[in-house]
Amino acid sequence: MRASISHDDSEPPVNWPEVAFERFQEIRRLEARHAHAHAWFGFWMFIAVFLIVVGTIILVGPARAHEHQAGENSEQARTIDWLRQWKRPSGDFSGIKHRESSCCYVTGDQQDCFPVEAVRVRNGVTEVKPFAPGKGQYNTWYPLNHGIEEHLQKDDRESPDGRSFVCIQGQMAVCYVAGNGT
């Protein structure tokens, strides 16, 4: 005797290969969406790490340029501290606010503030030559024709150790303090 299976005519028979294929496609879509989310997560993690590294370089770089050097005496340390705190006079430059930005970097690779090696007057304009051993790009004369000399300021500063100092930005002297006798 054969068992008879009755079918409900209201429901069509299940096509299992088609159902399996649809499930397979749904799983692939979910995996693709999950992979896409991981890609974005990786991208944003890269951006976050990049910004942290750049921020650290920006914040720590200038601080290292002003650190004291091993073997310097207390007079040298005092001079470096003074130069580090020296603020730029506005002079004849437009857009420069008086005593708001630093004159220069005192030490390190970015150093652009030096003792003055020589002073001369040429065509009525005072020029200074920095003493910058090993920094050939500063081996030239810089005119002081922008009103940046400390003795011309209402709130003038005196040299910390009696020497003259000049700070260079680009190809221009932006700060200058005369020492004793110069």
Q: How many CB atoms lie within 10 A of CB 40?
A: 9
Domain count, the chain: 2
Q: How many CB atoms lie within 10 A of CB 39?
A: 10
Instruction: Judge if 24 and 105 occupy the same domain.
Output: no
Q: Return per-residue pLDDT of the chain as tens, 182 residues.
A: 555 555 556 667 777 778 777 887 787 777 777 666 666 777 778 888 888 887 777 765 544 334 445 556 788 888 888 888 898 888 877 777 888 888 877 666 677 888 999 999 999 999 999 998 888 888 899 999 788 898 888 898 899 899 999 998 888 898 999 988 65
Residue 111 lies in a domain: yes
Instruction: Judge if 81 and 153 occupy the same domain.
Output: yes
Instruction: Judge if 111 and 149 occupy the same domain.
Output: yes
Instruction: Judge if 58 and 123 occupy the same domain.
Output: no
pTM confidence score? 0.58
Asked if residue 164 lies in contact with residue 115, where contact means CB atoms within 8 angstroms, the answer is: yes
Residue 39 lies in a domain: yes
Instruction: Judge if 134 and 44 occupy the same domain.
Output: no
Q: Residue 132 corresponds to which tokens in the numbers above? A: 């910058």
Instruction: Judge if 31 and 95 occupy the same domain.
Output: no
- Give 122-131 contacts, CB < 8 A, sequence gap 24+: 128/164, 128/166, 128/173, 128/176, 130/166, 130/168
Instruction: Judge if 128 and 164 occupy the same domain.
Output: yes
Residue 56's domain spans which residues?
A: 14-65
Residue 29 lies in a domain: yes
Instruction: Judge if 166 and 89 occupy the same domain.
Output: yes
Asked if residue 13 lies in contact with residue 7, where contact means CB atoms within 8 angstroms, the answer is: yes
**Which domain-ending residue is among 6, 38, 65?**
65
